[in-house]
Chains A and B, each alone.
Chain A
């Protein structure tokens, strides 16, 4: 039986945790960014038209 395998086990779990958490973070940040941009677009689209500018 292989002795002292715990270092390899912890290394594998650490790599997996970092990779999956990193992927989740990148996806969450991207989703947040485009949701914000889309909300901004909706706000602009719903703003009432000020009409033609009048000369003073």
Chain B
């Protein structure tokens, strides 16, 4: 019996080998296709199409290839052009849909922040999260996009985006240092009325708005609305685009590899640093300037927990954000076809794994330390894992993703405790810890965990090869990442702090104590968030 089975298996293997042989030899004998071959291709007849196409076999055939000259008929040139357009079309659609997902994250942020704040500030918190979208977009359209992407110098997956080709550069230490872009103001200047540029704008705009909306969380429940508008406009026009240019727009950080041999330069695949750390550090600057909410700290400095009004909103918002993150990270390939873009599957899986690990890390930390699996911190753990994996998502494997997410989940809890108990900074939603601390952790983790297996067109930031971290043999990558972290803390934080100090001097950042105690809905917005509810005072727990 055993012998019979062996013979059967060997026969099947032999048959398989024989069956494969003609196919492989046929592929070596392929003759070049000529224009005359194209004329013999069967296309569905009109009467067949008129009967409908329930199985889809008649739709999308040679009849759908655009022909440049109808007298000549279809040529090789027509086919090749169609292939090129299909590739760019796939990438346009992919990038736009990813951008739409990221745009919807605004809704997630809005309800997370509102749920973590008290009911008396619901209208004010929602309105900040709602209008940060418009204020940021206006600033970015007018100024920010040009500064950030005006000199990026071409994006192959999107057909070039060639007009974005003018970077302001200075020479230091004998090397060029890109500082800001010069094309793209109003999406017209410098020839930027261009289909690919529009795709880049939409995708980058929603990223910028994510950074801006982080700040509204740390300053919630005491931020003057007019100051919020001014601060968000300046951040969307200058603070965010400057760092984003240095990292993504062809600026000096990205070129640390090409100019100084530091790995592949500063690498931030989808923005742990560019989006989240910039937002988180600006949130820290704001929280220091506006000061803590009344009742947050006792006279001896002991903190009180000020409970949010709706944990259902908080966790629903976290899920919406996790959903949107599938646009954030996989979308950052700016395509699904060409230049290694098929890695989108790996990036999406890394994203969901890190989020999962983050929620576990935070839940078990809180459970062990305080006896209960705190819901809001578990939600923040999910977000922390997602923030941390944002930079490395395109460069690491699934095991590293889980480690990065797990560390993030614990780190967010430690950071919340440090910010509240040691720094005595009041951050109602944990934005500084979720986005600032874990944004920085994400940037560093690229320098540690990047496995050198990714291949996005053979190079990254103009340096041949794959991004490789310290654990896989390239210490230079870690140095590049750390220089990025120093730039975030030492430049972005300082710039953000100085600009918001100026706004404080001109407009004033903080509402009056009377307005704060009453709740900001009526004094600042003129209407209550929940007009039919009677709100109880004193939702402060020692």
Say if A and B assemble together: no
Chain B contacts to A: CB under 8 angstroms:
none
Residues of A within 8 A of B (CB): none
